[in-house]
Amino acid sequence: MQPLLLLVAFLLPPRCGAGEIIGGQEARPHSHPYMAYLQIQTAGQQGVCGGFLVREDFVMTAAHCLGRTINVILGAHNVSRQERTQQHIPVLRAIRHPGYSEENLLNDIMLLKLQNRARLNRFVRPVALPRSQARLRPGALCTVAGWGRVGQSRGGSDILRDVQLRVQTDQSCSGRFGNVYKAQTEICIGDQRERKAAFRGDSGGPFVCNSVVQGIVSYGDGTGTPPEVFTRVSSFLPWINRTMRRFKQQ
């Protein structure tokens, strides 16, 4: 049976009120200085996604977070406030992976070229990319952060939350999502025995292991029940580096 992909469900309309990651806790303020909050406008509708700074002029997110216009907020903890640490930067150009598929969310990765470079400080700092295409082992415990909701019908605060999730075997996701799951470019995340997961509004957020981003929140079954599927960042290093070189800083 075709799984319910969260192409829309992981995009959270701001008027619903951003909530929290399921099973997580409030993040220590500015402990994830790479985090980006994306305000997305498209066809008269608004939505939000997560993202993360990878260079002072580039944010990475999920390809399904594309909109007509995107505004990035860096340095935020509470996105409902105008914190002095925040930097609001419009996106100059959104660059989806050329192999992205809206049907099955294959190659769900996008780079956002910022109109202005971020001012780097202790509140705003890029996260490191993987240096190789080595795969994470099942059982590895890493962190996801975001402003997504805690449940199907629950809202929450606008404060950044984080949660630790474990890498699962590829079989755990291929058994759940069938041939939609692609082990070469995706990671299976979240223990089904634990009520911990990314959810609506967390799309595009980073899965960080030992200060290196390894995954991007992509899709699940629509209920916030693990495991879920994240885009495997290391599989896209050639495209990432090639794309960012094209916009080399002057």
Angle at 193 between CA 218 and CA 231, to 5 degrees: 15
- Does residue 97 have an active-site annotation? no
Q: Catalytic one among 30, 77, 97, 108? A: 108
Give the E-state strand segments of 63-190 in sequence order: 69-74, 87-96, 110-114, 141-146, 161-166, 186-189
The pair of three-digit structure tokens given for residue 45, joined into one six-digit string: 């509708």
The pair of three-digit structure tokens given for residue 137, joined into one six-digit string: 């082992």
The pTM (predicted TM-score) of the whole model is 0.91
Q: Catalytic one among 32, 64, 77, 97? A: 64
Strand-by-strand arrangement of the 141-146 sheet: 25-26, 161-166, 141-146, 206-209, 212-219, 228-232, 186-189
The pair of three-digit structure tokens given for residue 19, joined into one six-digit string: 């909530």
Q: Catalytic one among 172, 203, 218, 235? A: 203
- Does residue 108 have an active-site annotation? yes
H helices of the chain, in order, are: 170-177, 237-246
- Does residue 64 have an active-site annotation? yes
- What are the Cα distances from residue 117, in Å, to 51, 88, 114, 126, 176? 16, 11, 6, 12, 41
**Residue located via tokens 């909701």:** 149
Task: Give the pLDDT of the chain (250 residues) as one tens digit per residue.
Answer: 344 444 333 444 443 333 347 778 899 999 999 999 999 998 888 888 999 999 999 999 999 999 999 999 999 999 999 999 999 999 999 999 999 999 999 999 999 999 999 999 999 999 999 999 889 999 999 999 999 764 554 444 589 999 999 999 999 999 999 999 999 999 999 998 888 888 777 899 999 999 999 999 999 987 778 999 999 999 999 999 999 999 875 4
Q: Is residue 166 a contact partner of residue 191, using CB atoms and an 8 Å limit?
A: yes
Q: Is residue 59 a contact partner of residue 52, using CB atoms and an 8 Å limit?
A: yes
| CATH number attached to the domain at 33-126+236-246 | 2.40.10.10
